[in-house]
Structure 1
């Protein structure tokens, strides 16, 4: 994998490996590589947080910072390479039963990703304060502080089965049991 300046392209064996790992088609990988290199302003084969924040869809998304943070959980603190980029995107591929050799876009992986959006401090639990902070990100000033607090309290009460005032991943999975995560966390990628 290279940069635009050197015009180094993905090799066929790399594409096959990425297909196996992510489930993306050959054409999707090539097109996503083109998008990746157009975002790579330093032409160094990696994206910085600033590169991600230039993506218009993330700039307007209230959870844009959290989504960008998820990419850096895959990579280092300061950059993400193309394969790391695709591993995160792979979680948003729609499920196709006949195509499920890889495990990135399973229901469990999608739920792990969603859980991390709420687990701001990375302690594998969602506290009331974390839930409140994410609700603030999503709705801004459209709902009163009291209403947000009530939503957070009710959510914790309903999901917290062991009474520790936090939502564990297992409790999160249980709370999301009736939610069509596969549909809600899928993006139709370039065809």
Structure 2
């Protein structure tokens, strides 16, 4: 798996499959590898931020700048690991971990009021004023037992989002 232009061996496929907790079939991993190679235009073995932005759906995502911090420079194994949270087979905990990472932009394991506010700003754009966003967020935190001064850890996200059905899925086309 060193060079993006090399072929995957059965061992590579099984290693990647294990890395992503068997959330993708071997056939899906081969398809993802083909897509990875298409994105890795210079065959360096990893995908740059610019290459990710060449995917229109990614570039149009209101959270693309936050996601870019998570995906810039991923090799194939980590690329599949990142995408595994979007597998139909991924459980709620795996999806919540990814959501937490989006909010935890400094990777310190804590999400503060302003972190959530920034994501809300990215998602709502000009449809809401800063004041409206702050009011909504303050109310949601209050209803879940937190305050504006609280910070949330991953286990708090699990507590808050644990009973919500999260539909974060990407279909992997298989030839």
* TM-score, normalised via structure 2 length: 0.87
**Matching residue of 2:168:** 185
> Cα gap change, 1:71/1:3 in structure 2, threshold over 3 Å: closer, same or farther?
closer
For residue 115 of structure 2, the aligned residue among 123, 130, 152 is 130
**Matching residue of 1:141:** 126
Q: Distance in 2 between matches of 1:162 and 1:140?
A: 24
**Matching residue of 2:74:** 80
Q: Could you give the per-residue CA deviations for residues 164-191 of structure 1, whole angstroms, max 9, x where no partner exists?
A: 522222222111132102xx12222223
Consecutive unaligned residues of structure 1, counting only runs of 5 or more, are 73-78, 96-104
Please state how far the C-alpha of 1:25 moved relative to its aligned partner. 1.6
Please state how far the C-alpha of 1:155 moved relative to its aligned partner. 2.5
Moved more, 84-93 or 117-126: 117-126
**Matching residue of 1:12:** 10
> Cα gap change, 1:155/1:110 in structure 2, threshold over 3 Å: closer, same or farther?
same
> Cα gap change, 1:37/1:187 in structure 2, threshold over 3 Å: closer, same or farther?
same
Residue-pair matches, total: 171
Q: Using CA pairs below 8 Å that are at least 6 residues apart, which structure has the higher relative contact order?
A: 2
Q: Distance in 1 between matches of 2:163 and 2:10?
A: 41
**Matching residue of 1:101:** none
Please state how far the C-alpha of 1:83 moved relative to its aligned partner. 0.5
Two-structure CA RMSD over aligned residues (Å):
2.0
